Amino acid sequence: MSQRTAWWEGLYATSDVENLPWYTPDLDKDFERALTGHRLQGKRILDLGTGPATQAMNLAKRGFDVIGTDISPSAIKKAKAAAKAAGLAIEFRVDDILTSKLPAGFVDVIMDRGVFHVLPPGKRSVYVDAVHRILRRHGWLLLKCFSDKQPGTFGPYRISSKELRGYFAKKFEILSIADSTFQGTLKPNPKTLFATFRRN
């Protein structure tokens, strides 16, 4: 188990998911608007870094074919239990996007609410290659990350709109990058960027 995997596993093994900073019981409004606005209902969608699985469960309730992955086995164990208790059919897998075992062309949409911004800069190109491979042609990547407008240094990396464009421009059409916030247990909600990319 890598040091990164061990850290996330330790967190999910010992935490009540409802106390984690990114926990919200509702579908993130930015993702909901993007899915509706681009008419993506009914698509096969990957909830990358599913964590508490609240996003995956909300998507399943809306009729999406949902796959949830996380680097932490404990997160996936808890996610499976939560989905089962809610009577929802969701496929969950332990998977690390930097060494992903997911097949090529696996999904129509990838939803990333907090994975990209915890990766060190040197690993971000590996992420871009992986999500490009996992998406079907002209598939969608919806990504939320901490913005460089968020003060302080605690938590995820802060990323500028220019940086985000630089990472994705070669393999994705950049449809939009907008200022937003991260709903969760932190108050005030951290400042973020919400990006909509389409695979070339």
Question: What pLDDT, in 10s, does the model give residues 29-70?
Answer: 999 999 999 999 999 999 999 999 999 999 999 999 999 999
Give the residue among 149, 62, 64 at the shortest CA–CA distance from 109: 64
Please, which pLDDT band fits residue 84 given cuts at 50, 70 and 90?
A: very high
Mean pLDDT of the chain: 97
pLDDT tens-digit series, residues 99-131: 999 999 999 999 999 999 999 999 999 999 999
* Whole-number Å distance between alpha carbons of 126 and 96: 11
Please enumerate in sequence order all residues whose Cβ is within 8 A of that of 13, keeping only pairs 6 or more positions apart, or say none. 72, 74
Inter-CA distances, 39 with 24, 89, 141, 151, Å:
24, 22, 14, 35
pLDDT at 2 over 90: no
- Would you call 81 exposed, middle or buried from its count of C-beta atoms within 10 A (0-12, 13-18, 19+)? exposed
**pLDDT band, residue 1 (cuts 50/70/90):** confident
176: its two tokens: 């939009």
